[in-house]
Structure 1
Amino acid sequence: MAEIIVPELAESITEGTVAQWLKQPGESVEKGEFIVELETDKVNVEIISEEAGIVQEHLAAEGDTVQVGQVIAIVGSGSGAPAAAPSAPAPVAETVQKVEAAPVATVATEEANGSDRTIASPAARKLAREKGIDLAAVSPVDPMGRVRVQDVEAHGTAPKAQPAATAPKAAAVVEDGRVTREKMTRRRQTIAKRLLEVKQSTAMLTTFNEIDMTNVMALRSRKKDQFFEQNDVRLGFMSFFTKAVVAALKKYPYVNAEIDGDEIILKNFYDIGVAISTDGGLVVPNVVDADRKNFAEIEGTIVELAKKARDNKLTIADMTGGSFTITNGGVFGSLMSTPIMNGTQVGILGMHTIQKRPVAIGNNVEIRPMMYVALSYDHRVIDGKDSVGFLKMVKELIENPEDLLLGS
């Protein structure tokens, strides 16, 4: 018999959740074929079978938490005779970052007609449930037969199924029709845990300023068509803010640091995290070496990371090692907020919506497009002078964007 063992996933990941079994007991599996998908704090990983044979037994159910090194399945010959010695931990194919299927109170027809045995990603199953589509009727593009989100979308919308009497393990539980109870996804649990840890383990303060966006908006308007023609990527505000942040971090290095015990680690690199909202929660992939990238390279990297987030293809490497984070609540209409720092970082910049307001320009009052910005920081490392100076420098650079262009 060959054992399917939870492999080493990443340095900081010691456990995961069985998201779905791709092979059921009694089904055959080829050597190197995916047998189970695990959900971790950051990404999903698919584990392959080291041996060809028949899946004899699952030792963990979908939804169970499993540890690195734990045996979770047995693969053997069809007759049950010994097939192979226990294998080493199966290699991991690092795949999608999970946008967790939101629990629902009804069961789609897939469970009534056997399509629960269809190999499909969790996101595809979620979409199929929402659209009332029988997964068994979906034609996958994947040569291995796995149904992806795009396959479900291409299939179209089918009639909704009637609610089943009992909700499955992953579904919400409706109590007396007045409340809906749902289990937090692993990612949501991780987000909640880490945000609470940051609040409890840091001396977090937030300082605010406002930026007159007139000049940067005018520059962007003048250059956006030429920029797109030359670089095949649109010129947004994020490249300006990323460049301004990098310049400010170089002047105020303690904002680009972290605490390790009784030591402060000053980072001499500038991997800027960009917060991206997904259906499964907030993810923060990094623009690596942002100081070495020009405007087009920064914009292109952000577009690529956002697409990977939407397609559930972010990797652990995309989201580890950042030194500072930028989050833009303005895309949702937020006027002002106090962002919470990301992981071990000691600073995060919050951007907000651009709103026209009357402001004093000299002795006159003019209507200007204004944006509130916020810097949340760890007061154990960063003093008020540095935090205010950092945010003021970002403000000045955005209000004088030519300085950013010359500096890049």
Structure 2
Amino acid sequence: MAELRVPELGESIVEATVGNWLKKIGEPVSAGEAVVELETDKVNVEVMAEVDGVLQSILHVEGETVTPGDVIGEVSSGTSAGAKQSQDEPKKSDEVQVSHSPIPASPEVPAATQSEETVMPRETNRLEDGSMTKAGDGPHLPPRATPAVRRMASEQGVSLDALSGTGGQGRITPADIVSSQQSGEPPVMQRQSGSQGNATAAATNHVVPPREAAGGVDNREEHIRLSRRRLTIAKRLVEAQHTAAMLTTFNEIDMSAVMDVRKRRKESFRDRHGVGLGFMSFFTKAVVGALKAIPQLNAEIRGEEMIVKHYYDIGIAVATEGGLVVPVVRDADRLSFAEIEQQITALAKRARENQLSLEDLRGGTFTITNGGTFGSLLSTPILNPPQVGILGMHKIEERPVGVNGSIVLRPMMYVALSYDHRIVDGAEAVRFLVRVKELLEDPEQLWLEG
């Protein structure tokens, strides 16, 4: 029997959430084949089988929190024939679990009710002296069953309290549930009657029933479990506002010169380098130039020290279905426009395909985020700790501006700099934005100054 263990997840990652099981109980697996996905706050990790065999048990179901070293499943040596037998004839063993591929919630029992009420800790029947009891030995001890069996019972409408477990130490097994149904024992949860009654009343009175019968959950609400990444994003953003003296200052940039360069050079640039000439390479170069002029924005607070960094690893915020991630362009000051565009394109593609590595996300000295991609005209970006500065780009929009005593239309962009006022003064923040503005309105400086 080979154990599936949670691997080391990388620096600063101490736990993960069990995601999608890629194999079902009884299905054959090959050595090196992915069996289950784990979600972390940064990337998703696949757990591979170390031997050829059959997935024998699932010890942690989707949504459970695990830590490095935890055993989450077991693979036994076997063949596909053995796998078929395990699928067709459930063995009376406490090691055989039901599949935990995602199970759609029934319309009668909402998903939130199932996950909260039927998935119980594994060892609720452990006595103070460490011994185990069968279900029913004590007046208040719940039946001993794995979360998998509890979910199966919930789906089938079977009460575990009415069953006697045939597994080890009185554990209720999938076979016990199947046997109870074959013997005609009535299920305790009469889920159909409540929902049918509501439906009948609705048809008679021409009103929509406000709530489901089971659990009292509003049937107009959808309960969605937050991913590990989304939970961590929420936690870090709140921490950023609680721990930093965050302030935002604004300016606007005339994008005429940059747009002119892009218009004249975009075809030849793509032919030579295989990527488009976007705005992000201009902004990355301009930010590096401004950070060299105002180094406090390329720093972090560590204890009672300010750590000023003389390297420029620029984080580029990328929106994905799972949430915002910030892959890092390393040593941006040493890269050409083409190399920056190539790296950003590759990182964004990997981010949207959920293929980023921990190294892609680690570190970063300053961040750029582009809300203009989605039409944002003005916003106040939140710091990405432990960084002390983040630049927000926005939508380019033609606006009337005064030029040499005349009012003309120019493509203008508002930019926002959020910064940690503990080590960055307002004057320095304003000077930083002014320097970014100067470099972008005269982009030749970006080439002349490297």
Q: TM-score range by the shorter chain?
A: 0.7 to 0.9
Please tell me the residue identity of whatever aligns with 1:61: V
Other-structure match for 1:43: 43
Other-structure match for 1:56: 56
Task: Give the 3-state SS of the residue equivalent to 1:46 in structure 2.
Answer: strand
Other-structure match for 1:6: 6
Task: Give the 3-state SS of the residue equivalent to 1:42 in structure 2.
Answer: coil
1:257 aligned onto 2:299: yes
Please tell me the residue identity of whatever aligns with 1:71: V
Change in Cα spacing, 1:264 to 1:180, as seen in structure 2 (3 Å) is same
1:63-121 deviation digits (Å, cap 9, x = unpaired): 11111111112233459xxxxxxxxxxxxxxxxxxxxxxx99899xxxxxxxxxxxxxx
Other-structure match for 1:406: 448
Paired residue for 2:319, among 269, 277, 297? 277
Output the CA distance in 2 between the equivalents of 1:187 and 1:224. 36
Output the CA distance in 2 between the equivalents of 1:174 and 1:301. 51
Change in Cα spacing, 1:77 to 1:178, as seen in structure 2 (3 Å) is closer
Output the CA distance in 2 between the equivalents of 1:73 and 1:205. 48
Change in Cα spacing, 1:386 to 1:278, as seen in structure 2 (3 Å) is same
Task: Give the 3-state SS of the residue equivalent to 2:222 in structure 1.
Answer: strand
Output the CA distance in 1 between the equivalents of 2:409 and 2:46. 54
Task: Give the 3-state SS of the residue equivalent to 1:179 in structure 2.
Answer: coil
Output the CA distance in 2 between the equivalents of 1:255 and 1:279. 30
| Matches for 1:79-228 after TM superposition, within 5 Å | 175-228=217-270
Output the CA distance in 2 between the equivalents of 1:256 and 1:177. 50
Structure 1: 5+ residue runs without aligned partners? 80-102, 108-164, 166-172
Structure with the higher fraction of residues in strand conformation: 1
Task: Give the 3-state SS of the residue equivalent to 1:180 in structure 2.
Answer: coil
Please tell me the residue identity of whatever aligns with 2:22: L
Other-structure match for 2:90: none
Q: How well do the aligned residues superpose, as a CA RMSD in angstroms?
A: 2.4
Please tell me the residue identity of whatever aligns with 2:380: T
Other-structure match for 1:357: 399
Q: Report if aligned partners of 1:175, 1:181 keep a CA contact under 8 Å in 2.
A: no
Output the CA distance in 1 between the equivalents of 2:77 and 2:350. 39
Change in Cα spacing, 1:43 to 1:353, as seen in structure 2 (3 Å) is same
Q: Percent identity?
A: 59
1:346 aligned onto 2:381: no
Paired residue for 1:331, among 368, 373, 383? 373
Output the CA distance in 2 between the equivalents of 1:338 and 1:24. 46
Q: Report if aligned partners of 1:25, 1:55 keep a CA contact under 8 Å in 2.
A: yes
Output the CA distance in 2 between the equivalents of 1:209 and 1:263. 30
1:153-211 deviation digits (Å, cap 9, x = unpaired): xxxxxxxxxxxx9xxxxxxx994343323221221111111100101111000010000
1:70 aligned onto 2:70: yes
Paired residue for 1:300, among 324, 342, 351? 342
Please identify the structure whose Cα radius of gyration is greater.
2
Q: Report if aligned partners of 2:39, 2:227 keep a CA contact under 8 Å in 1.
A: no
Change in Cα spacing, 1:210 to 1:104, as seen in structure 2 (3 Å) is farther
Output the CA distance in 2 between the equivalents of 1:221 and 1:35. 49
Q: Report if aligned partners of 1:174, 1:180 keep a CA contact under 8 Å in 2.
A: no
Please tell me the residue identity of whatever aligns with 1:188: R
